[in-house]
Amino acid sequence: MRRLWVPIYGPTVLISIGMGAVVPLIALYALDLGATVTQAAIIVGLIGFGQLAGDLPAGSLAHRFGEKRVLLAACVVEAAALIAASQTTSLLVLAACVFAIGLASAVFGLARHAYLSEAVAIGFRARALSTLGGTFRIGSFIGPFVGAALIEQFSMGAAFAFAAGTSLTGGLLSLFLPELPGDGARRAVEAEAAPSAGPRMSLWRVLRDHRKVLATLGSGVFLIMVARAARQAIIPLWAASQGLDATTTSIIVGLSAGVDMLLFYPGGAIMDRFGRMWVGLPAMAILGAGFVLLPLADTAVLIALVACFMGLGNGISSGIVLTLGSDVAPPDARRQFLGGWRLCADLGNVAGPGLISLVSLAFPLGAAAVALGLISWFGVGWLAKWVPVYDRTRKAREPAPV
């Protein structure tokens, strides 16, 4: 793991700082270019749709070209999209750039995930992947402050240019990734045997052969991501509905992010030592309780306490989605499978805020929070059913029969 600090975790921190500086500004930038509020919201949402569109192709690209090349290419595409966005005066061009950023993010995320799944021994897997999730959280925590400083000193375009620089730097650091054992030989053999091996290793064949795990454990991951994404959306909305100003809301979100950021390594250590279930179930139970308690919070202090409580649940589960995917990915088709796995997760990432909007059309925002709490608690039962079935590390921890 020490050899991976610079080439894996370094780019993640840099790129997440850059994206943390830019993502909160996309809606404002679109409004400055003449978009309506609805159009600005759609443009922001294109990042998520870009990730959805890129998940499955990312698996095939990583399998064909290897993680190092794919990581570099994703960083270059992301940087180019950020630079183009900073210079455009067209909403259509901005929308295309935001979608391209989502595509690049999907490719970059899958390549990191696949590489760590193969490079790190299973006994350290959860800690390695929870650290990956933690570095993303650290960058996302720092990024908005950097973006605010750049806007204050220069302009909104400077934040986009800064993010482009972090993406390019991250791509260069990725070149220092150690080659995986046998990776080059594997690709050479597959290239020679392409006519016969292609159909056997095709993306759709892999997804079809592993449809049961995607439908069962993958559905649990979908529910985890629904809860996570909904948490990020509903706390600012609830704070605004209680009359809190933007500064107070930002402080509350920042406090929650700080709690979230501090707990990633303990969660990984618990998963490695005791099993994946001992993190997944408590995390979903805490998130569910937080959703149910949120409608009872009517002051800044109470909202902050609930937000930090939910940050506890989200933080300790850092890396759970990545770890479960690595556990069940077939060694001979790891990258293609992880493309389908990440699609399950990203569908939940899009569905969470969408569910809030859907419920809020007919009911108060508090009802949406309670509904999300019930969904999270349903996720506890679902994960309790399926995580032990697929936890391959469980048998290694059980004492041998006497």
Separation CA 328–CA 170 (nearest Å)? 29
Instruction: Return the pLDDT at 175.
Output: 87
Based on the domain organization, do 235 and 144 belong to the same domain? no
Examine residue 362 and state whether it is found in any structural domain, yes or no. Answer: yes
Examine residue 191 and state whether it is found in any structural domain, yes or no. Answer: no
Q: How confident is the model at residue 99 (pLDDT cuts 50, 70, 90)?
A: very high
Examine residue 63 and state whether it is found in any structural domain, yes or no. Answer: yes
Based on the domain organization, do 215 and 98 belong to the same domain? no
Mean pLDDT of 74-88: 93
From the list 346, 374, 259, the residue with the least C-alpha distance to 307 is 259
**Residue reference for tokens 């508090």:** 366
Based on the domain organization, do 361 and 250 belong to the same domain? yes
For residue 19 the two structure tokens come to 């994206």
Where is average pLDDT lowest: 261-270, 327-336, 356-365, 391-400? 391-400
Residue 136 has pLDDT above 90, yes or no: no
Based on the domain organization, do 159 and 96 belong to the same domain? yes
Examine residue 402 and state whether it is found in any structural domain, yes or no. Answer: no
Examine residue 187 and state whether it is found in any structural domain, yes or no. Answer: no
Where is average pLDDT lowest: 15-19, 23-27, 49-53, 312-316? 23-27
Mean pLDDT of 169-177: 89
Q: How confident is the model at residue 196 (pLDDT cuts 50, 70, 90)?
A: very low
Residue 190 has pLDDT above 70, yes or no: no
Based on the domain organization, do 213 and 112 belong to the same domain? no
Examine residue 195 and state whether it is found in any structural domain, yes or no. Answer: no
CATH number of 130's domain: 1.20.1250.20
Based on the domain organization, do 30 and 125 belong to the same domain? yes
Based on the domain organization, do 135 and 233 belong to the same domain? no
Separation CA 376–CA 203 (nearest Å)? 31
Residue 400 has pLDDT above 60, yes or no: no
What percent of the chain shows pLDDT beyond 90?
A: 40
Residue 141 has pLDDT above 80, yes or no: yes
Our count of domains for the chain comes to 2
What percent of the chain shows pLDDT beyond 70?
A: 91
Based on the domain organization, do 295 and 331 belong to the same domain? yes
Residue 398 has pLDDT above 70, yes or no: no
Based on the domain organization, do 156 and 297 belong to the same domain? no
CB 114 within 8 A of CB 62: yes
CB 271 within 8 A of CB 394: no
Based on the domain organization, do 7 and 89 belong to the same domain? yes
Mean pLDDT of 287-291: 96
Where is average pLDDT lowest: 191-195, 284-288, 371-375? 191-195
Q: How confident is the model at residue 222 (pLDDT cuts 50, 70, 90)?
A: very high
CB 292 within 8 A of CB 306: no
Residue 381 has pLDDT above 90, yes or no: yes
Separation CA 303–CA 231 (nearest Å)? 12
Residue 188 has pLDDT above 70, yes or no: no
- SS3 percent helix, strand, coil of the chain, rounded to 5, is 85, 0, 15
Cα distances (angstroms) measured from residue 120 to each of 174, 186, 341: 17, 19, 19
Based on the domain organization, do 143 and 208 belong to the same domain? no
What is the domain range of residue 353? 203-390
Count the residues in the chain.
402
Based on the domain organization, do 16 and 66 belong to the same domain? yes
Instruction: Return the pLDDT at 194.
Output: 45
- If you write DSSP's letter for every residue of 43-100 in order, what string do you get? HHHHHHHHHHHHHHHHHHHHHHH-HHHHHHHHHHHHHHHHHHHHH---HHHHHHHHHH
Q: What is the mean pLDDT of the chain?
A: 86
Instruction: Return the pLDDT at 152.
Output: 82
Give the model confidence (pLDDT) of 151-169 as tens digits: 888 888 888 999 999 999 9
Examine residue 397 and state whether it is found in any structural domain, yes or no. Answer: no
Boundary-marking domain end, from 146, 181, 216? 181
Cα distances (angstroms) measured from residue 300 to each of 255, 289, 349, 373: 12, 18, 27, 21
Q: How confident is the model at residue 178 (pLDDT cuts 50, 70, 90)?
A: confident
35-39, 106-110, 394-398: which is most confident: 106-110
Separation CA 206–CA 368 (nearest Å)? 37
From the list 141, 117, 177, the residue with the least C-alpha distance to 319 is 117
Where is average pLDDT lowest: 139-153, 261-275, 358-372? 139-153
Examine residue 212 and state whether it is found in any structural domain, yes or no. Answer: yes
